[in-house]
Structure 1
């Protein structure tokens, strides 16, 4: 089954693009036949770190084969339509890092184009990935996400451990006499799965971002110290273990290239 994976949410600052970068890194490491899309266009995190560059360090014009296609989903109708046009090449996996407020925008886009039925017609099963912070504005978006597509999609909720441990996410899991978030209750009813995004030490992430490195490249780059590269390696292992739990939904099941 072909997969159309969208990392989305209606709130910024949850770690959405970090999760998308981690998934993109795994896809590239395994040489999977995938089309990567940055819904924030050329200013987006995924494009900045994973775009294909020429010998002068500039992004190549044709990003589709093994780079990141910039799509400004908040732009004009023609620009938004590029998201649906991504099914035309028929790649077995499409990964899109969607912009902030993407759930609201996707709802409108689906109303305009029949987005989710068209994905099904093209042989794609969509997966909506929602990265959570502990705050109520973030946890509420899971119910909105499921309400957007219902049984037309699969769902992966990613608890970002950068913000703390399980007890810090009490608005998601519930606490004392307070029930869990409605999204937490709905997720298993719709066959969804919850995974974690392990915490990466801030100094390591800053060093990677300063050099605009992919995670795989940073693992071998001597501009990072040995402890930094070692911590990154352990983090990548922990992330891969979590991604493995949702491999079927994320297009990571089966053999790679």
Structure 2
């Protein structure tokens, strides 16, 4: 099943780029062709990891254009329609404040995705701020998605301590058929070490010449495997 996955969350610093990288790594590991759309040309967080990876196609489209939101969306899908017709999985790493572009144009995005033969999936990042929870409920793109997934980023707090866990929005989200998964936390020491290594996380684990210590690679390996187990839950729900 072809999927177009928007890694959304509107705010910066909620883990969108990290999760988008894990998603791309996960599907490439399954030998599926993946397109990675970097939505902010000024902040290239995901593209450098996959530019030289087999079966990965990287496209950069500026989606941080609230003043010209329709132009941004038309540019995005024109590029995809012209160059990515054989891609099974498309992952859009959205920039901060992208609701002003994407949610405003949701009524164009949803039917375009469908006509292109993809399921529309929105992975909404929720973190320690209650505003990320409230914005999830307001997102027009989430409302029109074939699958909406709340991704609980536990880098700073446990699942139970996140506002999402005790908010009425969560109950509403789940009652509407939405699902929730967890983005596991990774120690800051390892995060800082891998941040600037231009390779998928799973490849960093295997590379013994990248400067990471053995224990750092083992910590990263466990984190990747835990994250992939959470992503697999999205597949299980789709296949039910």
**Residues 106-133 of structure 1 deviation map (CA, whole Å, 9 limit, x = unaligned):** 122335xx22112112222100101111
Q: How far is 1:189 from its partner?
A: 2.5
Which of 102, 107, 110 is matched with 1:116 structurally? 110
TM-score (ref. length: structure 2): 0.86
Which segment drifts farther, 65-74 or 133-142? 65-74
Structure-2 residue corresponding to 1:31 = 31
TM-score (ref. length: structure 1): 0.81
Alignment of 1:1-257 (within 5 A): 1-41=1-41, 43-52=43-52, 66-75=56-65, 78-85=71-78, 86-88=80-82, 89-90=84-85, 91-110=87-106, 114-145=108-139, 147-169=140-162, 171-174=163-166, 180-182=167-169, 184-222=170-208, 223-247=211-235
Structure 2: which 5+ residue stretches go unaligned?
A: none
SS class of match (1:43)? coil
* C-alpha distance in 2 between matches for 1:214 and 1:26: 10
* C-alpha distance in 1 between matches for 2:18 and 2:165: 23
* C-alpha distance in 2 between matches for 1:248 and 1:87: 28
RMSD: 2.3
- The runs of at least 4 consecutive aligned structure 1 residues that moved more than 6 Å come to none
Q: How far is 1:104 from its partner?
A: 2.6
Which segment drifts farther, 86-95 or 189-198? 86-95
* C-alpha distance in 2 between matches for 1:110 and 1:193: 20
* C-alpha distance in 1 between matches for 2:145 and 2:23: 22
Judged with a 3 Å threshold, the aligned counterparts in structure 2 of structure 1 residues 231 and 68 are, in CA distance, closer, same or farther, namely same
Judged with a 3 Å threshold, the aligned counterparts in structure 2 of structure 1 residues 152 and 33 are, in CA distance, closer, same or farther, namely same
Equivalent residues, number: 231
* C-alpha distance in 2 between matches for 1:3 and 1:117: 14
Q: Are 1:140 and 1:181, in contact at CA under 8 Å, matched by a contact in 2?
A: no
| Bigger Rg, which one | 1
Judged with a 3 Å threshold, the aligned counterparts in structure 2 of structure 1 residues 82 and 118 are, in CA distance, closer, same or farther, namely same
Structure-2 residue corresponding to 1:177 = none
Which segment drifts farther, 210-219 or 233-242? 210-219
Structure 1: which 5+ residue stretches go unaligned?
A: 54-62, 175-179
SS class of match (1:172)? helix
* C-alpha distance in 2 between matches for 1:172 and 1:210: 30
* C-alpha distance in 1 between matches for 2:63 and 2:37: 10
